[in-house]
């Protein structure tokens, strides 16, 4: 079992809330790119504000920047033909991670999705978080939203940018190698797999000066099915176990396993204030209902649970002891549910910086106070049919885990 990477000094980490601010920062970086751009996302929906990101990728490729774009085959099963043609004509190299094929998700191995949201520009600037390339005011299943979804990302400079880039490049080359192998192009497959272990050959541009950001200790956490099976879960367990004052978690699809549940219960029982902000608006049957049976255990231990009612909650963030001597925060793509922690490729950035942690803590506390409601009373007085749906969803989730051979 590999240990989590150590936090290192000298990073510049900027918290970004919402798709609009994220797209503005991302487009600015793309328009300044000189050498290369790597972008991974679960959903790339070319609609509304997300069109600006597609246009920025197109502009970068047209001026000679090497652009790699990787999207997931479930989150983005089909590109609009017009946009795929435009991007490829401009020179953008587009790939779909694990297309579903005829049988789709009936094959359990295809439940292992690419859920990371990462971008690296010229090897010196990176983005990591939970925000898809998807307009904040629009949902592919629900149409126009009355309020934007709540989500976060970070813009980073420092050593972890190289770690993000290496991870993205390795995945790209392995996918290339696998495709060549399927096409029986053995020499090309060998070259791609060999390239997966080498640094990118592109020229690294010097970082852009940004004196407005303080220097922070930070690290990149990954989750995959080979070398990094439980980095993110271990980081949460350690942070919660060391908490002395408060734990604040905002997570869209919250269904913690036994170890995470116990860590939260033990923290609450030793006097730590533990608050959870979860999805209030109904989105998916499994994720919404399967989490409810867990609430009773946590509420009985003194954990405060709030549901976000203003719009869809998509955040995957947490902050521990923000106002004390060992602040810890994380922003990323990983939910605290079995799909993220056992199956998907995920990426989180961990930051040990008081200013950053306090900023995230203040924002989440405000959302809880002004846009959320406690679930304790409504949970206690659920109707029988609500309890029945909760148990069915929880049972189906356990069955799915049994099929994949995982315990959670």
Q: What is the pLDDT of residues 119-144, one digit of tens each?
A: 999 999 999 999 999 999 999 888 99
- Cα–Cα nearest to 279, from 398, 384, 154, 149: 149
What pTM did the predictor assign? 0.93
pLDDT-above-90 percentage for the chain: 69
Q: What count of other Cβ atoms lies within 10 Å of the Cβ of residue 188?
A: 15
187-228 confidence digits (pLDDT tens): 665 666 566 666 666 656 555 555 556 679 999 999 998 889
Of the two residues 232 and 394, the one the predictor is more confident about is 232
CB of 38 closer than 8 Å to CB of 165: yes
pLDDT confidence of residue 389:
81
pLDDT at 44: 97
Question: What mean pLDDT comes out for the span 368-381?
Answer: 90
Closest CA to 407 of 342, 336, 345, 334: 342
Confidence of residue 387 (pLDDT cuts 50, 70, 90): confident
Distance from chain centroid for Cα 131: 7
User: Among candidates 169, 196, 160, which has minimal Cα distance to 348?
Assistant: 160
Query: Residue 67 — pLDDT band, cuts 50, 70, 90?
Result: very high
Selected catalytic residue, list 45, 72, 321, 353: 321
Residues contacting residue 181 through CB under 8 Å, at least 6 positions apart: 189
Residue range 260-313, pLDDT digits in tens = 999 999 999 999 999 999 998 877 777 777 788 889 999 999 999 999 999 999
CATH of the domain spanning 8-195: 3.30.870.10
Indicate if 215-404 has the same CATH topology as 8-195. Answer: yes
115 catalytic per annotation: yes
**Does pLDDT of 181 surpass 70?**
no
Region 229-248: mean pLDDT is: 97
| Domain ranges across the chain | 8-195, 215-404
Catalytic residue among 36, 115, 124, 289: 115
Mean pLDDT of 345-372: 97
- Active site residue: 122, 224, 246, 337, which one? 122
Does 321 participate in catalysis according to the annotation?
Answer: yes
- For position 252, what pLDDT does the model report? 93
Question: Would you state the pLDDT for residue 367?
Answer: 98
The pLDDT mean for the chain works out to 90
- The confidence score (pLDDT) of residue 388 equals 79
The CA–CA distances, whole Å, from 155 to 76, 79, 119, 349 equal 24, 27, 9, 10
What does the pLDDT read at residue 131?
98
Question: Is 169 a residue whose pLDDT tops 80?
Answer: yes
Question: Per-residue pLDDT averaged across 109-114, rounded?
Answer: 90
Q: What does the pLDDT read at residue 154?
A: 98
Write out pLDDT tens, residues 340-358: 999 999 999 999 999 999 9
117 is catalytic: yes
Torsion of CA 244, 335, 303, 274, to 10 degrees: 30
Higher pLDDT, 240 or 109: 240
Q: Please identify which of the residues 36, 117, 163, 361 carries the catalytic annotation.
A: 117
Residue 359: the pLDDT is 97
Catalytic annotation, pick one of 11, 12, 316, 361: 316
Q: Supply the pLDDT for residue 79.
A: 82
Question: Which residue in the list 11, 36, 163, 314 is annotated as catalytic?
Answer: 314
215-404: what CATH class? alpha beta
């Amino acid at each position: 079992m590999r240990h989590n990477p150590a936090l290192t000094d000298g990073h510049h980490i900027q918290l970004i809330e919402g798709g609009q601010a994220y797209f503005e920062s991302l487009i600015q970086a793309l328009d300044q790119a000189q050498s290369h751009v790597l972008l991974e996302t679960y959903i790339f929906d070319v609609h509304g504000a997300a069109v600006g990101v597609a246009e920025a990728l197109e502009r970068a490729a047209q001026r000679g920047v090497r652009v790699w774009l990787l999207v997931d085959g479930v989150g983005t099963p089909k590109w609009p033909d017009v946009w795929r043609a435009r991007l490829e004509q401009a020179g953008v190299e587009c790939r779909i991670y694990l297309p579903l094929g005829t049988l789709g998700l009936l094959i359990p191995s295809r439940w292992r999705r690419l859920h990371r949201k990462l971008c690296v520009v010229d090897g010196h600037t990176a983005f990591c978080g939970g925000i898809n390339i998807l307009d904040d005011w629009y949902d592919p299943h629900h149409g126009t939203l009355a309020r934007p979804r709540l989500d976060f990302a970070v813009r980073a400079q420092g050593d972890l940018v190289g770690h993000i880039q290496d991870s993205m490049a390795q995945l790209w080359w392995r996918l290339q190698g696998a495709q060549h192998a399927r096409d029986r192009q053995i020499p090309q497959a060998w070259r791609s797999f060999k390239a997966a272990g080498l640094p990118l050959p592109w020229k690294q541009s010097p970082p852009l000066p940004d004196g407005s950001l303080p220097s922070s200790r930070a690290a990149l956490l990954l989750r995959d099915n080979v070398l990094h099976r439980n980095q993110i879960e271990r980081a949460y367990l350690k942070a919660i176990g060391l908490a002395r004052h408060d734990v604040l978690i905002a997570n869209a699809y919250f269904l913690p396993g036994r170890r995470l549940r116990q860590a939260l219960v033990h923290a609450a029982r030793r006097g730590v204030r533990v608050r959870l902000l979860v999805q209030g608006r109904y989105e998916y049957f499994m994720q919404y209902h399967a989490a409810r049976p867990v609430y009773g255990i946590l509420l009985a231990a003194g954990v405060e649970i709030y549901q976000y009612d203003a719009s869809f909650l998509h955040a995957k963030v947490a902050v521990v002891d923000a106002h004390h001597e060992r602040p810890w925060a994380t922003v990323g793509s990983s939910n605290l549910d079995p799909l993220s922690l056992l199956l998907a490729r995920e990426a989180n950035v961990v930051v040990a910086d008081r200013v950053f942690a306090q900023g995230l803590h203040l924002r989440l506390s405000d959302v809880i106070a002004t846009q959320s409601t406690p679930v304790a009373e409504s949970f206690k007085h659920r109707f029988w049919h609500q309890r029945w749906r909760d148990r069915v969803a929880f049972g189906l989730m356990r069955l799915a885990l049994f099929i994949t051979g995982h315990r959670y």
